[in-house]
Amino acid sequence: MSRRDFVVAGSAALGGLLFSGCSKTPLPPTYGNLLRMADDLTYVAHRALLPGQSLVREYSHKDISSFPATGTFDPGVPGSPGYSEAYRGLQRNRFVDWRLSIEGSVERPGSYSLADLKRFPSRTQITRHTCEEGWTAIGEWTGVPLSRVLIAAGMRPTARCVCFYTFDDWADSIDILDALHPQTLLAYGMNDRDLPTAHGAPVRLRVERQMGYKSLKYLQRIVVKDVFDDCGKKGNIQTGWAWYTGI
Ligand SMILES: Nc1nc2c(c(=O)[nH]1)N[C@H]1C(S)=C(S)[C@@H](COP(=O)(O)O)O[C@H]1N2
Ligand SMILES: [Mo]
């Protein structure tokens, strides 16, 4: 498809959504602000043109590259930006007491230890990470598909959005299509080892069809919502970033 066709199809899809108000694709969640039109166009075009669960390319071991750890400081070190006393305690005890809580629109809210997550069937994938700063890197990720955990927690059919909160005080959300995507992982392994601190230990999110900053590190809490939630002050919209960064 040429770029022009793509843009035309995307605009048609966006127009269709905004003006018909009825489609299988959810309404672009950030629509309503003129400056958000590009974000919405990407969202709707991506959703309209890609088959729902199409996979991103997976690479082989020989393609694995060095992987910078960016935008982050060890949240277990006092004085570092994003320092968390709770994280420090968990880190000292090698995360045996770490638990990921899952709340909101689920039948069985609760929390999962690292051992619990490792008991689910795992997935390993070698994918390319694209940072908004302009670099890319290829790494291997092992973890449990988020869909498995959401299903185990009894995610309700009314759910529309999944919010994530981290120890270093980041928050972000993804829609249900990305949440249930087979390559969306709660990753606890990187390049065949435990996930290193710098890359988000003990568990990070991998959202492979979006830019790197959606793949939150140092996960603490997941909240399933029936309505779109951009995570308010800490979310991308209020911090000035695109909420949807499909690639
Ligand atoms: N909790 C948290 N998640 C985060 C970040 C962060 O600083 N804190 N940085 C983001 C950005 S901008 C990128 S590019 C990737 C970097 O992942 P890496 O450190 O494994 O390279 O993590 C993303 N997730
Ligand atoms: Mo990034």
Residue 202: is the preceding peptide bond cis (ω within 30°)? yes
Percent of the chain with pLDDT over 90: 66
Cα(112) to ligand 1 centroid in Å equals 22
Alpha helices, H only, the chain = 3-20, 37-49, 85-92, 114-119, 146-152, 176-179, 236-239
Ligand 1 atom 10: the closest Cα is on which residue? 213
Mean pLDDT of 60-67: 96
What's the pLDDT tens digit per position in 171-207? 999 999 999 999 999 999 999 999 999 999 999 999 9
Does residue 212 line the site of ligand 1, with CB under 6 A? yes
The torsion angles phi and psi of 121, rounded to 5 degrees, stand at -60, 140
The full length of the chain comes to: 247
**Residue-wise pLDDT tens digits, 210-234:** 999 999 999 999 999 999 898 888 8
Angle at 68 between CA 64 and CA 73, to 5 degrees: 140
Pocket test for ligand 1, best of 64, 66, 67, 70 (most atoms within 8 A of CB): 70
Q: What is the CATH number of domain 3-239?
A: 3.90.420.10
Atom 24 of ligand 1, residue of closest alpha carbon: 216
Question: Looking up tokens 């007491």, which residue turns up?
Answer: 97
The predicted model scores a pTM of 0.88
Instruction: Give the bridge partners for 54, in sequence order.
Output: none
Which amino acid makes up residue 26? P
